Chain A
């Protein structure tokens, strides 16, 4: 009998969700790292938040990273405004883990981050990291404030991030992937 054809044609796709408060930089983060032009569903803002930015994501952002020939990582960005939270569950289906992005310059948005994080924790007990955008360094004070607000322990990575910088975004994704590895195989994970 001839050997069975074992080539893999279809490949595998995995998903990471990028979530966080309104105007935290989620769309920017995905655009920075995605190899394709991010399919973004943005719409002009008509309410009082227009002062913060002119457009906002109303359904999702969608980016792609081809890992190798058979493996693709998709990034899904959630709409930040709470009134679109019905999309969160749709986007969260089957995710490996998620990045909770917050804006270091907007401590008033941390409360919103708490709500979002609670919703995602309730949806899926998957690993996550907290990325603090628009800051080069994470002060102990800010780290503590975030951990206390989000009620997270030292096992959850909290790291500074610049959503416009590719290396910085890579660090965020790697932190999440190592957290996943640690969960799958605690003894061998390192990072």
Chain B
């Protein structure tokens, strides 16, 4: 080691300038321990004073992730490149270069991605308030794909980003922030293709960090785009503690319930002070479990899932897909079915009786089909475990019985490992009536 020190004594931009002016080649390695105790490590590669590569997180294949996120690498090429690096056995880097050498990616695309990666990484590293650096002379970049950028340009760009970041971070406060698409827009939306590609990934559950990972486009680019969409009202930062649009409408309509002599079913109340004076008691299902009232969207999902299960296993002879009576009739026709099916139907009926009816409260609007979220890729075990714990705490996951797996709640289904985790199921609510309507509609076009 020829050059080493502390970042709080010698700023990164100064280190960069020094290495550039002395036309050094090698690896500037940085590490720090955050207040949370998490260790971070990054590296910036130099060749004759120019930056040829950088990553702010050595634990991840940042450049390769960017390529994967942009969709320009297929499974076979990636598998082959990873295999080449593993067989070399030197270190974990070099996948991007292996992809280039195998012809799996076009040099122009890879170099553009590498340039963006350098900018993003240096921007991240320059925001480290503390940490240590050490320069390893003559170390060569294993992912050198022919990019070399002058230090002065990168520092200038990073400073410009820093200024913009202050504004952006007030809108998107955290990598763990969750965004959703608002139900009501004040004007017709106008979006660019890049914005649309990002909008398509926002599902009200993925956090900003997930979106950055999925796109591979870099934190600054993704967060800046998201902030722009939020500013224009096309996205909202979801406050987990507050009710969504539907929840607010349901809550207010529930206040009218006693006057309208309707079945009072909504119970998404944010605070006791806003609760109606008298709410009807929450009905219980036949198996003694409380129904899903009060759990909002999750309750809807759970009840829907139970309905689907009951329909699938208990049969559904309904020609009309819309009414409660239709469902009751269906259960009446199934008197001879097995106990399991009866139990599911009973639970379904209880859930249907008790859950809020969105059809009664949601105004007319056309909206895209929004299927339940499924994993688009493998999720971190820790995140899944956390999700599982939250779901269990909320009561949406039934305790497995000796007779089979948990059977109540969408979360139970989402957390179940299916035989084929990649399989996507068609909406099981499709029935003959619906299909005949579709056929008639298409014929009449």
A residues adjacent to B (C-beta < 8 A) = 1-2, 4-15, 33, 39, 41-43, 47, 58-60, 62, 64-68, 70-74, 82-87, 89-90, 92-97, 122-126, 166, 170, 173-174, 177-178, 180-181, 184-185, 188
* B438 partner residues in chain A, CB cutoff 8 A: 14, 67, 71, 73, 177
6 other A-B residue contacts (CB within 8 Å) besides A9-B360, A60-B200:
A13-B369, A41-B196, A85-B74, A94-B369, A124-B426, A181-B435
Q: State whether A7 and B359 are in contact (beta carbons under 8 Å apart), knowing that A73-B438, A123-B423 are contacts in the complex.
A: yes
B residues adjacent to A (C-beta < 8 A) = 71-74, 106, 193, 196-197, 200-201, 260-263, 321-323, 358-369, 371-372, 374, 376, 422-427, 430-432, 434-443, 445
Q: How far is the CA of A59 from the CA of B73 in the complex (A)?
A: 16
* B371 partner residues in chain A, CB cutoff 8 A: 93-94
* B441 partner residues in chain A, CB cutoff 8 A: 65-68, 71, 73
Majority-rule SS of B interface residues: loop
* A124 partner residues in chain B, CB cutoff 8 A: 423-426
A-B contact pairs, 27 of them (CB 8 A): A2-B260, A5-B360, A6-B322, A10-B358, A10-B364, A11-B364, A13-B366, A47-B106, A59-B197, A64-B366, A67-B437, A67-B438, A67-B441, A71-B441, A73-B442, A74-B369, A84-B71, A87-B71, A87-B200, A122-B423, A124-B423, A124-B426, A170-B443, A173-B442, A177-B438, A180-B435, A184-B432
Contact present for A96 and B200 (CB under 8 Å): no
- From B197, B360, B423, B435, contact of A184 by CB (8 A): B435
* B323 partner residues in chain A, CB cutoff 8 A: 6
Contact present for B364 and A170 (CB under 8 Å): no
Contact present for B263 and A94 (CB under 8 Å): no
Q: State whether A15 and B434 are in contact (beta carbons under 8 Å apart), knowing that A82-B74, A86-B71, A89-B424 are contacts in the complex.
A: no
* B364 partner residues in chain A, CB cutoff 8 A: 9-11
- From B71, B424, B435, contact of A94 by CB (8 A): B424
Q: Which residue of B lies closest to A40 (CB)?
A: B193
Q: How far is the CA of A160 from the CA of B405 in the complex (A)?
A: 46
Contact present for B200 and A83 (CB under 8 Å): no
* B106 partner residues in chain A, CB cutoff 8 A: 47
Q: State whether A72 and B426 are in contact (beta carbons under 8 Å apart), knowing that A4-B263, A14-B434, A188-B432 are contacts in the complex.
A: no
Q: How far is the CA of A178 from the CA of B200 in the complex (A)?
A: 30
- From A15, A41, A87, A92, contact of B193 by CB (8 A): A41
Contact present for B425 and A8 (CB under 8 Å): no
Q: How far is the CA of A10 from the CA of B246 in the complex (A)?
A: 12
Q: How far is the CA of A59 from the CA of B201 in the complex (A)?
A: 11
Q: How far is the CA of A2 from the CA of B197 in the complex (A)?
A: 48
Contact present for A8 and B322 (CB under 8 Å): yes
Nearest Cβ in chain A — how far from B357, in angstroms?
9
- From B365, B424, B430, contact of A93 by CB (8 A): B424
* B263 partner residues in chain A, CB cutoff 8 A: 4
* B362 partner residues in chain A, CB cutoff 8 A: 9-10
Nearest Cβ in chain B — how far from A171, in angstroms?
9
* A14 partner residues in chain B, CB cutoff 8 A: 369, 427, 430, 434, 438
* A123 partner residues in chain B, CB cutoff 8 A: 422-424
Q: How far is the CA of A178 from the CA of B376 in the complex (A)?
A: 30
Q: How far is the CA of A101 from the CA of B197 in the complex (A)?
A: 23
Q: How far is the CA of A170 from the CA of B361 in the complex (A)?
A: 35
* B368 partner residues in chain A, CB cutoff 8 A: 13, 62, 74
* B430 partner residues in chain A, CB cutoff 8 A: 14, 96, 180, 184
Nearest Cβ in chain B — how far from A100, in angstroms?
16
Nearest Cβ in chain A — how far from B374, in angstroms?
6
Q: State whether A67 and B262 are in contact (beta carbons under 8 Å apart), knowing that A15-B369, A96-B426, A188-B432 are contacts in the complex.
A: no
Q: How far is the CA of A7 from the CA of B427 in the complex (A)?
A: 23
Q: How far is the CA of A71 from the CA of B436 in the complex (A)?
A: 12
Between B321, B359, B362, the greatest number of chain A beta carbons within 10 A of the residue's beta carbon is seen for B359
